[in-house]
């Protein structure tokens, strides 16, 4: 991979401040409102800006890496959030390193677990790694991605190497971490080999001479504390930590997880993926736009304004989100077919062959449309029905009494109660 920095067309189009905003979009360093988390984010943002300036000045691209432990063979959308961030650095012309945790997987990261992970064998890990890279290339540019395996250096470390590395950390630092603290207070076992994991991941940053490491909020200790401290101990400049939040699952609340059944596999068929995205609660749509799509900050800001000012219906925005995500993994033609399938199967099922029609030429509140069409006796009754979940637009329940219908040249179906239908045309 070339070590001379050549700004890409995107990098040339964006100012330095816009690049920082693009790369830090959606990043979070702890609970919202936590002053320590906000301070850490400000520090990392400033350090990232300095590194980007330096890349232009020295003509050296940043070395940016994301480490994944292939303890399973399948990826879901939650796994792709940090990959999308790595792709953004790639799009700006920096060196993207996709690190396979072939050795760290032997232990397994205890960061978000309430018990020790099962120790795996290297053959299984390497087989899973093969499928990981195939799936990761749905996000990353394979021509511009460096693939590394951390057994290349971790397997060569000796006890003589490990002792000075371990001397930079205290047992208290590890026990203060929430998952270890809870297990300690409950009297549950904490195994010694679990303490090795942050040292192993921290040494990855040293071996890769990383400028930036990307990870989820469950990786803050491993990246910010272990990685940066070991780099300083080895005479390196500490890496910038780019931390992304954990993607909520289809329930909109709990982190996406295969074991919880709220996940969206990236190998899911287009129609299934589209339908699962359409099932998301409205309140997580912007989170998905920020973390999973290819949209720039100003595009997402416009969508947020349109929703807040009722210029667009949440259903239409969610369909745009579904098209975008399906097109990332399956292409634009597959996304188009998936949308047609969703409209045909889910939005138009159980519809009468004939129904009254109303022409709408400009954005109009649904409450007004319902009352004017005589589907309810009054606007007040229309509001009550919406509050009770009795109104649907194109098969999607309307939840906002102030929702506005915006004509777009297509036909739409408004359902009020169980038996009243209205075709909206423009």
In-domain check, residue 64 = yes
- Domain residues for the domain of 301 are 247-347
Check whether residue 14 and residue 149 sit in a common domain. Answer: yes
154 and 285 both lie in a single domain: no
Dihedrals phi, psi of 39, to nearest 5 degrees: -65, -40
Decide: 212 and 237 in contact? Cβ < 8 Å.
no
Query: Where a domain ends, among 301, 319, 347?
Result: 347
How many domains are contained in the chain?
3
Q: Are residues 276 and 177 in the same domain?
A: no
Residue 319's CATH number: 1.10.240.10
Domain-embedded: residue 3: no
Residue 253: per-residue pLDDT: 85
262 and 291 together in one domain: yes
pLDDT at 244: 94
Q: Are residues 147 and 286 in the same domain?
A: no
Contact 53, 16 (CB under 8 A): yes
The pLDDT, as a whole number, for residue 349 is: 61
Question: Residues, the chain, total?
Answer: 426
Q: Closest Cα partner for 145 from 51, 65, 60, 54?
A: 65
**295 and 173 together in one domain:** no
Identify whether residues 158 and 296 lie together within a single domain.
no
Question: Helix 270-278 crosses helix 314-330 at what angle (to 10 degrees)?
Answer: 150
Domain assignment present for 227: yes
End-of-domain residue from the set 329, 347, 365: 347
**407: in domain:** yes
pLDDT of residue 192: 83
Q: Is there a single domain that holds both residue 315 and residue 187?
A: no
Residue among 361, 385, 356, 386 nearest 373 (CA): 356
The predicted pLDDT at position 108 comes to: 62
Residue 72 phi, psi (nearest 5):
-130, 170
**Which of 318, 347, 376 is at the close of a domain?**
347
Contact status, residue 314 vs residue 402, Cβ threshold 8 Å: no
Q: For the whole model, what pTM was predicted? A: 0.75
Q: Give the CATH number of the domain where residue 162 resides.
A: 3.40.50.620
**Is 4 contained in some domain?**
no
Could you tell me if residue 2 is inside a domain? no
Helix axes 159-166, 196-208, angle to 10 degrees: 100
Tell me the mean pLDDT per 10 residues along the chain, length 426. Answer: 83 96 93 92 97 96 92 82 95 95 77 52 78 86 93 94 92 82 84 86 96 94 94 97 92 82 88 91 93 92 92 90 95 93 71 81 91 90 89 82 83 85 86
Could you tell me if 96 and 170 lie in one domain? yes
CATH of the domain at 394: 3.10.290.10
Distance, in Å, from the CA atom of 4 to the CA atom of 66, rounded to the nearest integer, reads 21
For residue 12, count CB atoms less than 10 angstroms from its CB and return exposed for 0-12, middle for 13-18, buried for 19 or more.
exposed
Residue 162 inside a domain? The answer is yes
Q: Which residues pair with 65 in a beta bridge?
A: 97, 213
Residue 46 forms beta bridges with which residues? Answer: none
Question: Is residue 280 located within the same domain as residue 402?
Answer: no
Predicted local confidence at residue 131, as pLDDT: 81
Does residue 1 sit within a domain? Answer: no
Are both 254 and 231 inside the same structural domain? no
pLDDT of residue 116: 47
User: With 0-12 CB in 10 A as exposed, 13-18 as middle and 19+ as buried, what is 402?
Assistant: exposed
The confidence score (pLDDT) of residue 354 equals 76
pLDDT at 389: 86
Whole-number Å distance between alpha carbons of 56 and 174? 38
Q: What are phi and psi of 166, to 5 degrees?
A: -65, -25
Rounded Cα gap, residues 364 and 173, in angstroms: 58
What does residue 78 show for φ and ψ, rounded to 5 degrees?
-60, -35
- Give the 3-state DSSP-derived string for the chain, with helices as H, strands as E and coil as C: CCCCCCCCHHHHHCCHHHHHHHHHCCCCCCCCCCHHHHHHHHHHHHHHHHHHHHHHHHCCCCEEEEEECCCCCCCEHHHHHHHHHHHHHHHCCCEEEEEECCCHHHHCCCCCCCCCCCCCCHHHHHHHHHHHHHHHCCCCCHHHEEEEECHHHHCCCCHHHHHHHHCCCCHHHHHCCHHHHHHHHHCCCCCHHHHHHHHHHHHHHHHHCCCEEEEEHHHHHHHHHHHHHHHHHCCCCCCEEEEECCCECCCCCCECCCCCCCCCECCCCHHHHHHHHHCCCHHHHHHHHHHHCCCCHHHHHHHHHHHHCCCCCHHHHHHHHHHHHHHHHHCHHHHHHHHHHHHHHHHCCCCCCCCCEEECCCCEEHHHHHHHCCCCCCHHHHHHHHHCCCEEECCEECCCCCCEECCCCCCEEEEECCCEEEEEEC
Sign, Cα dihedral of 234, 194, 212, 20: negative
Residues 204, 89 share a domain:
yes
């Amino acid at each position: 991979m070339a070590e001379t920095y050549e700004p890409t067309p995107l990098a040339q189009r964006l100012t330095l401040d816009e690049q920082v905003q693009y790369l830090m979009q959606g990043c979070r360093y702890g609970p919202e409102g936590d002053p320590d988390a906000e301070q850490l984010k400000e520090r990392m943002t400033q350090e990232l800006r300095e590194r980007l300036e330096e890349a232009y000045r020295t003509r050296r691209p940043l070395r940016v890496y994301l480490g994944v432990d292939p303890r399973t063979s399948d990826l879901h959308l939650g796994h792709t959030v940090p990959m999308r961030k790595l792709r953004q650095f790639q799009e700006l012309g920096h060196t993207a390193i996709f690190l396979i945790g072939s050795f760290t997987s032997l232990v397994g990261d205890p960061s978000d677990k309430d018990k020790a992970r099962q120790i795996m064998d290297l053959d299984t890990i390497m087989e899973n790694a093969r499928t990981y890279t195939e799936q990761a290339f749905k996000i990353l540019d394979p021509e511009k991605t460096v693939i590394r395996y951390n057994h290349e250096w971790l397997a060569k470390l000796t006890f003589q190497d490990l002792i000075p590395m371990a001397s930079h950390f205290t047992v208290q630092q590890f026990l203060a971490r929430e998952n270890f603290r809870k297990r300690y207070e409950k009297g549950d076992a904490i195994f010694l080999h679990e303490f090795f994991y942050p040292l192993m991941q921290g040494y990855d940053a040293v071996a890769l001479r990383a400028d930036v490491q990307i990870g989820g909020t469950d990786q803050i200790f491993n990246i910010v504390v272990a990685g940066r401290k070991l780099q300083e101990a080895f005479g390196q400049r500490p890496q910038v930590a780019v931390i992304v939040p954990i993607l909520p699952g289809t329930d909109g609340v709990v982190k996406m997880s295969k074991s919880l059944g709220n996940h969206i596999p990236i190998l899911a068929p287009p129609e299934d993926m589209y339908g699962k995205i359409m099932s998301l609660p409205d309140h997580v749509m912007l989170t998905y736009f920020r973390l999973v799509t290819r949209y720039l900050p100003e595009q997402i800001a416009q969508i947020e304004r349109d929703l807040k000012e009722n210029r667009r219906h949440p259903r239409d925005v969610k369909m745009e989100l579904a098209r975008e995500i399906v097109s990332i993994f399956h292409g634009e033609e597959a996304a188009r077919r998936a949308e047609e399938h969703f409209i045909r199967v889910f939005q138009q099922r159980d519809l009468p062959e004939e129904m009254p029609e109303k022409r709408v030429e400009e954005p109009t509140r649904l409450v007004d449309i319902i009352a004017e069409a005589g589907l309810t006796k009054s606007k007040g009754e229309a509001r009550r029905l919406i509050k009770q979940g009795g109104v649907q637009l194109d098969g999607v329940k309307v939840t906002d009494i102030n929702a506005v219908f915006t004509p777009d040249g297509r036909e739409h179906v408004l359902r009020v109660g169980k038996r009243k239908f209205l075709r909206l045309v423009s």
